[in-house]
Structure formats: C-alpha cells, structure tokens
Structure 1
Amino acid sequence: MNPSDPSSFSHRTEKISTGRKYHFVDQLPLNYSQGTPTLLCVHGFPDCWFGWRYQIKPWVRQGFRVVVPDMLGYGGTDKPADPKEYSTKRLCADLCAILDLLGIQQTVLIGHDWGAYTAGRFALWHPDRLMALIMLSVPYTPPSLEYLPVTTVAKLAPNLSYQAYFEEQRSTKEIESNLNTFLRVIYRGPNPTQRFKISQLYKGPEVLAKIYVPDSDIVLNAQELEFYSKVFQQGMNGPLNYYRTALFRHEEELAAELSPNLRPDLPVLFVWGTKDSTTTSSLIQKAHKFIPRLQDLALEERGHWILVEARDVITEKIPQWLKDLAVEYQGNLKTHL
C-alpha cells in the first residue's frame, strides 16, 4: 500500500443489492476475523477513494479493516445521469449494501466533505449499522421542515454561491472544458497566494479561463494532480449531481419524518481546520444540540483538505479516539475495538 501508487491497494468492483456497480478498496489487516472492526471511509467533492491514500495503510496496520468506495458518479463506480439517483437516502442504501456484501453488520463510518454530510444522514437512516461516526470538515446539519432552494441559500450566504453554479447543468461542460484549472482552484491550501474566491465560479467559464493557480498554492503534488485529472476526465456530471439533489433529499426526509437527533448513545467525532471557510463555530455549536456524544477537534491553521494537509494528525487521532472509546464505553464498542 503505497500512497504514490494507486495500484498497490486491494481493489474490488462488485454489483451490490441496490443494482449498482461500485468500485472500492478493501484492505484487510493480518489476522483478520469477523470481530475485526471496519472503517468505512466516504469521500467528498471532487474526490475519490484516493483521497484516503495516506490513511489506509496505517489504519490497516493498527488492526482495522478499511473499506473505501468510489462514491456514486466517481471513478470506477456507476455514473447515472439522473440527479435523483444521488439522493442521500439512496447513497446510504448503497453503503448498507456494500456492508451487506462484505458481511459487516456494524461499522465505524468516516466521511469528509460531502462524505461527512452523507455520513451524518446515514446515522439517521441506518442508526443500527453504526458503532461510531466521524465527520471531517463539514459539520452535521439536521433535516429541515422547510425546503430552501440552493439559490436561496446562496443569497443568504454569498460564499456558497458556487453551489448554485454547480447546481446548474451548464456547469458540467464548463468545468470539463477547464478541468485542470478547476482542480487547482478546488485543491488550494489554507494560505493561497492568489486570493480567488470559490464563489466567483458562479460567473462562469470566463472566470476559470483567466485563473492562474501556482503549484505552491495547491495541496497536491504533480503526480496526484495528474491522477485526479484522469479520474475526472471520465466526466463531471456525476460529481456535480450531488449539488442537484436538495429537493429530492428534502422530500425523502420529510416523508420519512426523520428525527434531527442522532442516536443518543452514538459516539461522534468532528474534526475540522480552523482555516476552512466551510466550517464556522456557529455550525459546530448547532450540531452539539442534536448529537449528545459529539466531540470536536480543531486543527489550527489547516484548511479544507485535512486528509492531506494534516494527514499525520488524522492518521493518529482517529484510531486513538476509537481506542479510548473501547476503554470508556463498556457496551458495544468494547466488544469490537
């Protein structure tokens, strides 16, 4: 398992019970048994299984089974054209189907970015399948009784206007036509020399065409950037469809009368970078109202891409948190961790 060599990981492609084909990395530790705890790692936008490249080997060496899928629309996984297929309820059903395929009843679910949002919803749709929940960079937000279109959200929070752009179908071809620049903009670190705001993407392709992002500003090396470029040359419609699901998600959650509260005994960890504009203290405080056992950890001077920017901290802190839980809780976790 070499982070610079994607082929060195254990890859699988399977058709799951929901009818979709998923590609995922499935890495087993030595002396694996049915009692071995599994870490199910869910990436965000625009990413793929490769986003967890620095964590997989160390976590396997510590005795965890690590399962990392390409989420729907990404990499070697199916890429339906219809945005409705990407609703969080359906994504969570897919994750359950992967667990079923592997014979795993309960997992530690870890999500970053959109993966964090999906992980939070998984805790509502399938609470019995979780031993613990870890959310990175994007804090938990509860279901709402009122539907707010993305365009309305963008007006209320102008720094999120890029989401309104991603929601528009035109963004797919425009981003595909400026893919390298787009990736360089998205994968900037917390202290870029070019003060371009992501929200400016809403102005369209002419903005992307004029942007110059130096190598020193991005968190990827040349080899990693090339890998991501090849992944997204397969198309951006699937990844962008996540931003086109707001109404579908709302209708599903409203129909199911999902509670805003997570399971009261569920251990939850939230980790974020203090220089990540997607995370604010008010959002974290709000999350505490709905998650009784929420612990949060701030990484000073880190940005959004903490799996890379703070890879050693993430790699070490998460297993330690889980081991501390095994000592603290005398219930379900004790028997697994």
Structure 2
Amino acid sequence: MLDATASRFYTTPMTTPPSRPDATPTQRRYHYLDHRPPAGIPERATLLLLHGFPDFSYGWRNVVAPLKLAGFRLIIPDLLGYGLTSSPPTSAASTAPGTESRLAEYGGRAISIDLNGLLDHARAAQGSEYGAESLTSDGRNGRVIVLCHDWGSWLGWRFAQWYPERVMGVAGLCVPFQAPTSKYLSIDMVVKNVPNFGYQKFFSEERSTKIIEQHLERFLAIIYMIPGLFSADSENDEEIRDWHLLGKLEKLITMPEFSDIPLKYLGRMILDGEQLAHYERIFRSRGMEGPLSWYRTREVNWQEDRALTSKTLPESLPALLISPKDDVAVPPAMGKTMLKHVPQTEIIEVAGSGHWVQNELPGVVVQHFKEWVERSVLPNEKKGSGMLGWLRSKL
C-alpha cells in the first residue's frame, strides 16, 4: 500500500531535545510521502499533513487524490514513533542498560524542530505559486499550509507557534488550539476537569503498551469504529457507549465479559478487512510504545512551552477548525473555546461523522478545506499579511 514513487526519508542532525539539553545527542529518521499535482495542473501551494493516534501517513489516503487535483503538493510524514519513522525507546523495559529514556524527543517543540528540517529536506514550496517568496537558493525556508488531525492537530498548532514564518495557515480536524498553561497539569487533573479524556489516563501509563499490543487487532478495530471510541451515537449499553471514560476502554479490550462482545454490535468498521490487517501489520512490526509515548509527554511539553514568546497564534494567521458533531472525545463545544485565544478561527461543524472525519467524510473535508484556502489563506498571502504579519510581530 506504500506509494514507492512518493516515498522519501529525512535524517535529522545530531541534536538534544529542548527540554533535555544535557542528554546524549541523537538522530531520528523520518519517512514521508511527497505527492505533487498531476502533469498539467499548476502547483498552487504545499501542504504539510500531520496524522494522529493510532495512525500514520496512510491515514490521509482518502484526501490525497482530490487535493493533488486541486493543485496542492502534499508532504505527509510518518510522525515520530509511527510507520517507517524512528521510534526512540522511552520505557525502562525498552531502554538498554546504561542508557536513558528518549521521551523528551517526543515533545512538541522537539518534533517541530524535526519537521522544520524535513520541510527543508523536501524543499517545500519550491515550484509553488504561494509560499516560495522566502525560499533560499538551496530550497530552504519555504512556507506551507498545515492540514492536521488529532495529535497531529495539536502538533500543527504548536508548529505554527514555534515556526510562524513557515506557515500560511492551519486547518485542524477535531482538536482545537490549546493555549499553554502557566502551571503543570497532571493527567489526573485533566481527566477530573475533562472526563471524556478518561481513555488518555490509560494511554499515559507504561503498562498500557503491553496490554494494547496483546489485544492489538481488537484495539484497532474498536478505535476505527462508526460509532466508536470517538463517536457519541452508540445505542449499545452504557459500558460500551461510554468507553471513552476512565477505565472503560481497558475493560473493553481485556475483560472476558466485554471482549466476548462481537465487534459488529459495537459499530461499523471504517477500515475494510485488508486495511485493518495493514494497520495491524504496521503497528505490530514497530510496537505501540512510540505512538503511546505522545500521551506521556505532558511534563515535557509544559517545560518546552515555557519558552514560547507568545501563548497564542499570530493574529495574521488564518485558522480553521473542522469539528465532527459525533466526536465525544473532543466535542464541538471544546472547539468553541479556541475563539478566546485565536479569535480569527473559522469553525465548521460537520454532521454525520465521528473522530475520523477525513476518512468518514473525505469529500466534505476537502471541500471545506479548499473553500477556506480560497477564502482566507490565499487572499491573506496576496495582500502580504502572512509573512509581513509575522515580521511585524518580531519588530
């Protein structure tokens, strides 16, 4: 299922993560797909597509063709811990004797640094109508539009904070911008205030890695359900309907009284049999430690965010949030709070979809994204507000 003609690899320089400058320098290898518009279609802009959990570059498969036909170049990485990208060890069980955990490399700023290098490696915006005005002779500093989902959305918003000069706009699916907090908030404090994040408590614990790996097929099948972990319209009993709450998902994949429930009673699969098998092969071959490490970086990200010069996004940056109405882990009401921090955000609620909106309703996502680009991003670039707005903020 890998498009070998679009497959690329980027290896980072030897670095230490921002929150651990005393760590041993390391490198990471990123795999990414690089899709260009078909011959005869002018390249308008370069997109950076960032996936979420548990996914990889393949998760954007249903939007690739229409976006290419619309004149966009697509750079789609397997994020750290996923697919063919490096998966630095983080747990005591996986690190070799005498070595240290590399969890700090999964921080949002650390990965943003890697993505900045990856965009230069890909020569992002070279040949594009928009975003190429800042390119150097060796293809560095091109600007992109970010389209992102789930954890990728969280990362996309942060990338725009760390590298505003590289971003023409951000379109997030499901997960809104979250302003950095002045105080560290543990996962227990978060779940107390946001009960629908209960499943994240399980993911944040190292023990969940082995449990999920032992029940990987069922876990993936449940995650990719309509309705599923991230959808609100289940008609099954309370234990199943509320499995996003604290403790429910672990029970559903491990306890006999729940694991014996046929999957067909839980919902309809988003993935067909071949696709589910492909996901299982990918995650079984690499293990779940890397993907789950993202849920274990709360303190790392808090430490990194303290260095941000601004706690919000540039006022000149176009922002779009697409919120599926049936997403209970991140319901639309949570997205509306983003307006307090990023008032220029355009919010679109989508009916008939749960968390995997780019695969449940890919045509709707593409249409709203293209209209937003034409309505907000490109006019912003034509009047010079994008790069100039960022430059003004630095003067």
Shift of the 124–327 alpha-carbon distance from structure 1 to 2, 3 Å rule, reads closer
The alignment partner of 1:249 has SS state of helix
Q: Map 1:83-98 to 2 at 5 A.
A: 83-98=103-118
Question: Partner of 1:244 in structure 2?
Answer: 296
Question: Partner of 2:275 in structure 1?
Answer: 224
Question: Partner of 1:180 in structure 2?
Answer: 217
Question: Partner of 1:309 in structure 2?
Answer: 360
Question: Partner of 1:112 in structure 2?
Answer: 149
How far off is 1:320 after superposition?
2.4
Deviation sequence 1:298-327 (CA, Å, 0-9, x none): 101211000111111112221222122366
Are 2:334 and 1:283 equivalent residues in the alignment?
yes
Distance 2:40 2:89 in 1: 38
The answer as to whether partners of 1:16 and 1:101 remain within 8 angstroms in 2 is no
Question: Partner of 2:262 in structure 1?
Answer: 212
Q: Map 1:18-97 to 2 at 5 A.
A: 19-30=27-38, 36-82=44-90, 83-97=103-117
Question: Partner of 2:23 in structure 1?
Answer: none
How far off is 1:163 after superposition?
0.7
Shift of the 78–55 alpha-carbon distance from structure 1 to 2, 3 Å rule, reads same
Distance 2:185 2:44 in 1: 42
How far off is 1:282 after superposition?
3.9
How far off is 1:9 after superposition?
5.9
How far off is 1:333 after superposition?
7.9
Question: Partner of 2:287 in structure 1?
Answer: 235
What amino acid is aligned across from residue 67 of structure 2 in structure 1?
W
Deviation sequence 1:166-185 (CA, Å, 0-9, x none): 11111001000000110111
Distance 1:175 1:292 in 2: 39
Distance 2:210 2:188 in 1: 20
Deviates more, 1:280-289 or 1:35-44: 280-289
Distance 2:76 2:203 in 1: 25
Shift of the 217–194 alpha-carbon distance from structure 1 to 2, 3 Å rule, reads farther
Shift of the 59–275 alpha-carbon distance from structure 1 to 2, 3 Å rule, reads same
Shift of the 309–158 alpha-carbon distance from structure 1 to 2, 3 Å rule, reads same
How far off is 1:103 after superposition?
2.0
How far off is 1:294 after superposition?
0.7
Whose helix proportion is higher, 1 or 2? 1
The answer as to whether partners of 2:325 and 2:332 remain within 8 angstroms in 1 is no
How far off is 1:53 after superposition?
0.2
How far off is 1:281 after superposition?
4.3
TM-score (norm 1): 0.90
Gap regions ≥5 residues in structure 2: 16-26, 91-102, 125-141, 228-232, 388-395
The alignment partner of 1:66 has SS state of strand
Shift of the 204–308 alpha-carbon distance from structure 1 to 2, 3 Å rule, reads closer
Shift of the 321–84 alpha-carbon distance from structure 1 to 2, 3 Å rule, reads same
% same residue: 32
The answer as to whether partners of 2:143 and 2:166 remain within 8 angstroms in 1 is yes
**Larger Rg over CA atoms:** 2
TM-score (norm 2): 0.78
The answer as to whether partners of 1:139 and 1:270 remain within 8 angstroms in 2 is yes
Question: Partner of 2:187 in structure 1?
Answer: 150
Question: Partner of 1:298 in structure 2?
Answer: 349
How far off is 1:33 after superposition?
11
The answer as to whether partners of 2:325 and 2:349 remain within 8 angstroms in 1 is yes
Distance 2:377 2:253 in 1: 50
The answer as to whether partners of 2:316 and 2:385 remain within 8 angstroms in 1 is no
How far off is 1:334 after superposition?
9.5
How far off is 1:192 after superposition?
4.3
Question: Partner of 1:159 in structure 2?
Answer: 196
The answer as to whether partners of 1:138 and 1:278 remain within 8 angstroms in 2 is no
How far off is 1:32 after superposition?
8.9
The alignment partner of 2:201 has SS state of helix
The answer as to whether partners of 1:192 and 1:217 remain within 8 angstroms in 2 is no
Distance 2:50 2:303 in 1: 23
Distance 1:325 1:10 in 2: 29
What amino acid is aligned across from residue 245 of structure 1 in structure 2?
T
The alignment partner of 1:214 has SS state of helix
How far off is 1:145 after superposition?
0.3
Distance 1:259 1:184 in 2: 40
Distance 1:34 1:306 in 2: 28
How far off is 1:159 after superposition?
2.4
The answer as to whether partners of 1:276 and 1:303 remain within 8 angstroms in 2 is yes
